[in-house]
Amino acid sequence: MTVLITGGAGFIGSHLCRAFLDRGDSVICVDNFITGSRENVKNLADNKNFKLIEHDISIPLYNINENIDWVLHFASLASPKDYITYPIKTLKSGLLGTHNCLGIAKAKKAKFFFASTSEVYGDPLIHPQTEEYWGNVNCIGIRSCYDESKRAGEALAYAYYRQHAIDIRVVRIFNTYGPNMQAEDGRVVSNFIVQALKGEDLTIYGKGNQTRSFCYISDLVNGLLKMMQTDYKMPVNLGNPKEFTIKELAELVLKFTKSKSKIKFMPLPEDDPKKRKPDIAKAEKLLKWQPKISLEEGLEKTIEYFSAKLG
């Protein structure tokens, strides 16, 4: 089949491009490289089934001559550092970008896959978070450009599903990490690893007792592919339900990098969620999916990647 992937040179998108090509599918990768990296797709360029289009998907994309089976919308400024720097671009990617992707799917009679996020739950008042939870989001806060763009993106997908019968899938992705992350993207796993490898202090915001769950990229990609094989239309959480405090993560990174770096505590950012853990009962039942890679194993693989990248 032929798939169009926006954000295809990004962290998750580049792994998806590789997974489809490995299966023998054709991939049209769309990216404007605001946070994606040419390096992430450099080794795909010689594949005859791979096509790269440099384009900002918040602007309509015309002149696609190929028949498309799936449109996968993964273009997004997904790290707090990026979406706080580019709030308008973040909103445009989630609103206009989703609208344009749905238009492509409608025109090509293709299926549509929306990469949503655990951030739709905001700073959750229930724990763990189920797909039925409506969230606790500050709609005008510093993180709202990302949170609300994804919530509106979901609303757009369901509007097209109800009005135009577009065949949609929606996955809410929880914290994911692994190779192809950017060294300076500001996400906690890459932050800690890069700081440790450089011998810098590991910066923890708050006391470090806020929790996250960390899913290795290969587990996530496996879940995304399984989601495409089901007919289920409602949102599904994908993430690793094993919960760690940020301080525990920092200590693991120091252990595996053998770094002599210290931990430095900084003020907690506005609206930073105190807890984040997916309820994956739906994914387990519908997709027969569970993450397999432990945080320890995944960190070792990711540290190896960044060690090579930083030289």
Catalytic center residues: 146
With b for 16 or more beta-carbon neighbours within 10 A and e for fewer, the 18-28 pattern comes to: bbbbeeebbbb
CA distances from 50 to 4, 62, 105 (A): 10, 18, 19
Element of type H or E holding 19:
helix 11-22
Q: What are the tokens at 262? A: 């210290």
- Grouping H, G, I as helix, E, B as strand and the rest as coil, residue 101 is helix
List, in order, residues 6 or more apart from 55 with CB less than 8 Å away.
30, 31, 32, 61
Q: Which residues pair with 237 in a beta bridge?
A: 172
Instruction: Tell me the pairing of strands 70-73 and 211-213.
Output: unpaired
- Grouping H, G, I as helix, E, B as strand and the rest as coil, residue 301 is helix
- Grouping H, G, I as helix, E, B as strand and the rest as coil, residue 26 is strand
Cα–Cα distance measured from residue 175 to residue 193, given in angstroms and rounded to the nearest whole number: 15
Cα–Cα distance measured from residue 93 to residue 81, given in angstroms and rounded to the nearest whole number: 16
Cα–Cα distance measured from residue 212 to residue 268, given in angstroms and rounded to the nearest whole number: 15
- Please name the residue ranges forming H helices in 165-280: 188-198, 217-228, 246-257
List, in order, residues 6 or more apart from 60 with CB less than 8 Å away.
100, 103
